[in-house]
Chains A and B, each alone.
Chain A
Amino acid sequence: MAKRDLLSMDDLSRADVELVLDTAESFLPVLHREIKKVPTLRGRTIINLFYESSTRTLASFELAGKRLSADVMNIRARGSSVDKGESLKDTTLTLSAYSPDIIVVRHPQIGACKLVSACSAASVVNAGDGKHQHPTQCLLDLFTMRQALGRELDGRSVAIVGDILHSRVARSDIQGFLMMGMEVTLVAPPTLLPHEVEALGAKVSFDIADIREADVVYLLRMQTERQDAGANFIPSLREYAALYGVTPERLRAGQRVMHPGPINRGVEISAAVADDPETLIEQQVESGLAVRMAILYRTIVGMDERDDEEGA
């Protein structure tokens, strides 16, 4: 049986996504009971190979592996032999000495996960590669939506606001949301949309007013570098906040707000909205653990479902 990677949303069918979300739901009771562990992946080795600093995602993957009783190793690029100029390929080959079952990779360059997968017998899970994809984020976003809006996401609408061009979260989310039958609208200044944006399959608008009809408003973080003189993507954060910042006035009652974090208060999201208990931002973080457990579990166990005929 060939090993199974999760490098991008291309690797999942709609049925796969639903299976992962259902599996995540099964893990929720585990996370709420006294003994928050299951012995499922005991004896397996999971290595988290993170070349970008990220407390949140790393913690989520680490805990997910441990809750499944796997042996988990974290390798951060800072302070390891990577800094001595060891190539990604060599680092991966070195890690194979530990016979990992899964390597979770976060790397600032697109194509890094592909390389790790080519150099290793382990299954590779992409925790974010450059501006390309962040499939586990998309899955936890879908899970959060399901929990909040109900299992049927078909026909629901979502507006994604912000720097689509530079966002791996956006790329994965657009693909995932469309796959689940949702209507997706992208709202951003033209400079922050890819050149042939139609290829992504979503509606496009330059006007923040167009988020009004959506069931969910998904905000992306606006990086300060985008206003830098060399880049000139936006003239200033001030103007971005004025034209695209989501404030309570721009939202309709009943709309749910999401954000992959970390948030930039006062830029893409006003303080009032950030502090509103109705947003789903906290739930996204909580979902992350169950969803990542489901992903690790499915990566090892596979996506085929068979109704158990025999008792045992």
Chain B
Amino acid sequence: MTARLWAAGGKAADLVVRSVRVVDPQEGLDEVRDLAVARGRIAAADKATVGKDLRVVDGRGLVALPGFVDLHAHFRVPGREDEEDLVTATAAAAAGGYVAVFGMANTDPVVDTAPVLRSLAERAQREASVACGFFAAVTRDLAGRQLTEMGELAAAGAVGFSDDGRPLESSLLVRRALQYAKITGRFVAIHAQDASLTQGGVMHEGAVSARLGLVGLPAVAESLDVGRALEIAAYEGGRIHVCHVSVRGSLEHIARAKQAGVAVTAEVAPHHLCLTDEEVRSLDPDLKMNPPLRPEADRKALVEALREGLLDCVATDHAPHAQHEKEVPFEAAAFGTIGLETAFAAIHTACVLEGDLSLSVLAERMSQGPARIAGIPVPTLRAGAPADFCLVDPARTWTVDRQAQRSRSRNSAWAGRDLTGKVVLTVAGGRLVWEDVG
């Protein structure tokens, strides 16, 4: 049972990018050459391409990277098409250099049966410009009580199982989920949060929350739950994936578990790599998310962990919200920021340019790492491979325009900020899906 991806068809691309720096971490490639795409596949470097509509792109100063893969996005379909749908989500993804995106199951209705999954697949075949995959829920209706029919869901193509949005409160449920999911070979993705320690919390519990009076979300509420889940995984076996890691305490548990041979992978979101709780002093609701922005010490630890590979991949946790749910007092606002379009640029600005992360490692963590976890073909720039890549301009500075987001929603933590580094072209599934070569 493998994870499946669906996308709308389209014209296979024919183009050549001249004198571009090609970086492919898996192939150990980092050289300047021409990159050619012929009928949707990477052509051998020296061959002139065929095809009438040959597009030539000047690649000087640009970098070609394997296309990004997002293991954690919220498509909001079915149920909240006012916030996002597959058209807009994949448009945002394409603009961010993504060639595959996986949606979480906390929709309305929840993706907890095969028919719901299949209907989403059908929609993706009509509407998705970039390949989409889907998580299925661990428990029916995300209620945390009864397991979903994981076998059927996996057969229908679910990439994994997650009740993301809600923590799994019962240790027994976590155990059963890990046990049962072994049938499928898919992983269980955990949203780690101790419910009783996080009642009413809206930001990180620390010096800033002490000043602001906002109810805090303590770091231990996350690390405690990560520890619990990983201990169960060590006991039970099975594949476990930790969503949106945000605190050092969680990193310690993950390191121990990996040492002990537990089949654990972990992701980190761009906002936790780039922003801290100090930002929340502005009381801007676009900076309210769960897990919340943490202090600088945690941020630095996360960047280092991503660099070292303790954290396996970047996952955006792209969370669109309607205006009326965000343009309210901070305390009352919904949690989450959109992130597909800005992920690369934000991390490039805050980490690569600061010297804390190399472009090559970032590319691996945004592309090939998550692809391997998902069990889908790994994007590569090897000749003959399907063309799944993006071109980035590391020197281009741009301002994130709140009104000009490709997502249907406007709630970006980076609205109005200047970022350096931009995705200027994306070829996904052999189709040209985005360009802003300017």
Give the interface of A toward B (CB within 8 A): 87-89, 107, 109-112, 114-115, 129-133, 166, 168, 171, 194-200, 230
23 contacts between A and B (CB under 8 A): A87-B324, A88-B329, A89-B327, A89-B328, A107-B329, A110-B330, A110-B331, A111-B330, A111-B332, A112-B329, A130-B213, A131-B214, A132-B212, A133-B213, A194-B216, A195-B205, A195-B206, A196-B206, A196-B207, A197-B210, A199-B206, A199-B207, A199-B210
A200 near B213 with CB under 8 A, answer: no
B211 near A199 with CB under 8 A, answer: yes
B328 near A87 with CB under 8 A, answer: yes
Kindly name the residue among B205, B216, B327 whose own CB sees the greatest number of chain A CB atoms within 10 A: B327
Residue of B nearest to A129 (CB): B329
**Assuming A195-B216, A199-B211, is B206 touching A111 (CB within 8 A)?**
no
Would you call B183 an interface residue if the criterion is a C-beta within 8 Å of the partner chain's C-beta atoms?
Answer: no
- Across chains A and B, which 10 residue pairs bring their CB atoms closest together, nearest first? A111-B330, A199-B207, A194-B210, A131-B213, A111-B329, A109-B329, A112-B329, A109-B331, A111-B283, A132-B213
Q: How far is the CB of A51 from chain B (nearest CB, A)?
A: 10
Would you call B218 an interface residue if the criterion is a C-beta within 8 Å of the partner chain's C-beta atoms?
Answer: yes
Kindly name the residue among A107, A115, A200 whose own CB sees the greatest number of chain B CB atoms within 10 A: A115
Would you call B285 an interface residue if the criterion is a C-beta within 8 Å of the partner chain's C-beta atoms?
Answer: yes
A112 to B332, alpha carbons, bound, how many Å? 9
Would you call B209 an interface residue if the criterion is a C-beta within 8 Å of the partner chain's C-beta atoms?
Answer: yes
A109 to B285, alpha carbons, bound, how many Å? 12
15 additional contacts (CB under 8 A) given A133-B213, A166-B213: A89-B327, A109-B328, A109-B330, A109-B331, A110-B213, A111-B331, A115-B328, A130-B213, A194-B210, A194-B216, A196-B205, A196-B210, A199-B208, A199-B210, A230-B199
Complex interface: chain A residues within 8 A of B332 (CB): 109, 111
A110 near B211 with CB under 8 A, answer: no
**Assuming A107-B329, A110-B331, A195-B205, is B213 touching A168 (CB within 8 A)?**
yes
A114 to B218, alpha carbons, bound, how many Å? 25
**Assuming A110-B283, A111-B285, is B330 touching A195 (CB within 8 A)?**
no
Complex interface: chain A residues within 8 A of B333 (CB): 111
Within 8 A of A (CB), among B309-349: 324, 327-333
A196 to B327, alpha carbons, bound, how many Å? 29
Residue of A nearest to B210 (CB): A194
**Assuming A194-B209, A197-B210, A199-B207, is B330 touching A114 (CB within 8 A)?**
yes
A110 near B329 with CB under 8 A, answer: yes
Complex interface: chain A residues within 8 A of B207 (CB): 196, 198-199
Complex interface: chain A residues within 8 A of B330 (CB): 109-111, 114
A171 near B285 with CB under 8 A, answer: no
Q: How far is the CB of A34 from chain B (nearest CB, A)?
A: 43
Residue of B nearest to A116 (CB): B329
Residue of B nearest to A175 (CB): B211
A46 to B181, alpha carbons, bound, how many Å? 63
B329 near A114 with CB under 8 A, answer: yes
The listed residue (A107, A115, A129, A200) touching B327 by CB distance below 8 A is A115
Complex interface: chain A residues within 8 A of B216 (CB): 194-195
A131 to B333, alpha carbons, bound, how many Å? 16
Complex interface: chain A residues within 8 A of B199 (CB): 230
The listed residue (A109, A131, A195, A200) touching B218 by CB distance below 8 A is A195
Complex interface: chain B residues within 8 A of A168 (CB): 213
Per-position 1/0 for B186-221, Cβ under 8 A of A? 000000000000010000011111111110101000
The listed residue (B206, B208, B212, B324) touching A110 by CB distance below 8 A is B212
Q: How far is the CB of B166 from chain A (nearest CB, A)?
A: 19
Complex interface: chain B residues within 8 A of A199 (CB): 206-208, 210-211
A171 near B206 with CB under 8 A, answer: no
A133 to B213, alpha carbons, bound, how many Å? 8
A225 to B210, alpha carbons, bound, how many Å? 20
A2 to B207, alpha carbons, bound, how many Å? 30
Q: How far is the CB of A36 from chain B (nearest CB, A)?
A: 36
Q: How far is the CB of B325 from chain A (nearest CB, A)?
A: 10
Complex interface: chain B residues within 8 A of A197 (CB): 210
Complex interface: chain B residues within 8 A of A87 (CB): 324, 327-328
B213 near A171 with CB under 8 A, answer: yes
Residue of B nearest to A194 (CB): B210
**Assuming A114-B283, A195-B205, A195-B218, is B210 touching A88 (CB within 8 A)?**
no
Q: How far is the CB of B126 from chain A (nearest CB, A)?
A: 35
Complex interface: chain A residues within 8 A of B327 (CB): 87, 89, 115
Q: How far is the CB of B127 from chain A (nearest CB, A)?
A: 31
Residue of A nearest to B323 (CB): A89
Residue of B nearest to A198 (CB): B207
A200 near B283 with CB under 8 A, answer: no
Q: How far is the CB of A86 from chain B (nearest CB, A)?
A: 11
A131 to B215, alpha carbons, bound, how many Å? 9
Complex interface: chain B residues within 8 A of A110 (CB): 212-214, 283, 329-331
Complex interface: chain B residues within 8 A of A195 (CB): 205-206, 209-210, 216, 218
Q: How far is the CB of A89 from chain B (nearest CB, A)?
A: 5
Q: How far is the CB of A213 from chain B (nearest CB, A)?
A: 24
B210 near A200 with CB under 8 A, answer: yes
Q: How far is the CB of B216 from chain A (nearest CB, A)?
A: 6
Q: How far is the CB of A70 from chain B (nearest CB, A)?
A: 26
Residue of B nearest to A130 (CB): B331
A110 to B211, alpha carbons, bound, how many Å? 12
The listed residue (B212, B213, B283, B328) touching A88 by CB distance below 8 A is B328
Kindly name the residue among A129, A168, A195, A199 whose own CB sees the greatest number of chain B CB atoms within 10 A: A195
Residue of B nearest to A196 (CB): B207
Complex interface: chain B residues within 8 A of A194 (CB): 209-210, 216
Kindly name the residue among A110, A130, A132 whose own CB sees the greatest number of chain B CB atoms within 10 A: A110
A199 to B281, alpha carbons, bound, how many Å? 14
Kindly name the residue among B214, B218, B332 whose own CB sees the greatest number of chain A CB atoms within 10 A: B332
Complex interface: chain B residues within 8 A of A89 (CB): 327-328
Complex interface: chain A residues within 8 A of B205 (CB): 195-196
Complex interface: chain A residues within 8 A of B285 (CB): 111
Q: How far is the CB of A120 from chain B (nearest CB, A)?
A: 13
A215 to B330, alpha carbons, bound, how many Å? 37
Residue of B nearest to A201 (CB): B211
Complex interface: chain A residues within 8 A of B324 (CB): 87
Residue of A nearest to B205 (CB): A195
Q: How far is the CB of B203 from chain A (nearest CB, A)?
A: 10
Q: How far is the CB of B330 from chain A (nearest CB, A)?
A: 3
Complex interface: chain A residues within 8 A of B329 (CB): 88, 107, 109-112, 114-115, 129-130
Q: How far is the CB of B287 from chain A (nearest CB, A)?
A: 11
A195 to B211, alpha carbons, bound, how many Å? 10
